Amino acid sequence: MLFMFRLGTRRIERALPELGLGHHCYQCLEWGPDGRLYGLTRECVFSADRDLSEVVREADYPDHAAGNFYRFGMPHGPDGHFYFANGPRLMRFRL
């Protein structure tokens, strides 16, 4: 579930309860340089717009992320691309 919580009103303003994109990976949500929120599941990289009105399945990868890689998260590098570990491989998602 992704949701937007507004501190001023102390309310959830918008929620996406079920994305249907596979099991989410821990510590793998990151704002992209384009203002979209990017996330990783064990099946794909996805993005959501800032007000959570649209979710896009950006890229599938068939070998699925291992469950224990999350300690590294999904940071973006100085080149603006996202990186994540997948078993012994380093994966790059180009924006």
- Matching CATH number, 19-93, of 1.10.3470, 1.25.40, 2.20.25, 1.10.260: 2.20.25
Asked whether the predicted pLDDT for residue 47 surpasses 90, the reply is yes
pLDDT per position as a tens digit, 26-43 = 788 889 889 999 988 888
Average pLDDT over residues 83-88: 79
Collapsing DSSP to helix, strand or coil, 5 comes out as strand
Residues 84, 95: Cα–Cα separation, whole Å? 14
For the chain, the structural domain boundaries read 19-93
Task: Give me the phi and psi of 79, to 5 degrees please.
Answer: -85, 0
pLDDT of residue 33: 87
pLDDT for 66 equals 62
Query: DSSP labels for 64-79?
Result: ---TTGGGG---B-TT
pLDDT tens digit sequence for 57-77: 999 987 776 655 556 678 888
Residue identified by tokens 């590294």 is 72
